Amino acid sequence: MISSNAKRAAVAMAIGALCIASGSAIGSPVYQFQLNGDYHASWQLPASATPNDVFVGDSFTVWDVAGTYSNASAGLADLTFFNSARGGGLGIYDVHAALNLLSTDGAQLYSGTEAEPQFMLGTFQLTEYQGNGRYTLTVSDINTIPEPATAALLVVGILALACQRRRLVGVTVTPSASSKNIGM
């Protein structure tokens, strides 16, 4: 017969396994983009952003990205990311003022396709498209909250320890007759 503690532990492990299996589909890491040099900007995007415009073999654009952009009329800009065949880099466009704020060349900043990009982490050197500007783009992961799967695994571990502790607390040790005579 299975004890109630073993049943609880089995249920906790099953719940943990379900959370782990579903956790990978929940939540995408969020990346911080920091552009410094002759132009300054910062914004955040999911690691796997969903493009609003896709130009296969060329680039993709994400519309109305909230952030801080030098010379922008509002805190929003359309961001275009170019593939390596196009010269890499990115473009920042203030759609509200109909103003191109920046166009750069450099490394391709994503892997995957233009329809399903995955941004790359790291520091990238960019140059102004048809100009003399120099920029450094740093892309970093800012997630401080663990993914659901990680949190679920932690909870399952704590539950398993609690079940084990409860099981051990219920065990009583009685001294044997021979141990009572020791030291007399």
Domain that includes residue 67, residue range = 30-141
Percent of the chain beyond pLDDT 70?
Answer: 71
23 falls within a domain = no
pLDDT at 21: 44
pLDDT classification of 176: cutoffs 50, 70, 90: low
pLDDT classification of 174: cutoffs 50, 70, 90: low
Return d(Cα 51, Cα 77) in angstroms, integer. 14
Side chain identity at 50, as an amino acid letter? T
59 falls within a domain = yes
For residues 52 and 63, the answer to whether their CB atoms sit within 8 Å is: yes
Tokens of 167: 């099981």
81 falls within a domain = yes
Task: Tell me the pLDDT tens digit for each residue of 31-44.
Answer: 999 999 999 999 99
SS3 158: helix
16 falls within a domain = no
177 falls within a domain = no
Place of tokens 């005579």: 181
Higher per-residue confidence, 24 vs 154 = 154
66 falls within a domain = yes
pTM listed for this prediction: 0.65
- What's the number of domains the chain is made of? 1
User: By mean pLDDT, which of 12-26, 128-142, 158-172 is the weakest?
Assistant: 12-26
Return d(Cα 126, Cα 39) in angstroms, integer. 11
181 falls within a domain = no
Q: What is the mean pLDDT of residues 129-145?
A: 87
Name residues whose C-beta falls within 8 Å of residue 162's C-beta, 6 or more positions apart in sequence. Answer: none
User: By mean pLDDT, which of 18-27, 58-67, 99-108 is the weakest?
Assistant: 18-27
Question: Crossing angle, helix 4-23 and helix 148-169, to 10 degrees?
Answer: 170
173 falls within a domain = no
Return d(Cα 93, Cα 125) in angstroms, integer. 20
Name residues whose C-beta falls within 8 Å of residue 159's C-beta, 6 or more positions apart in sequence. Answer: 8, 9, 12
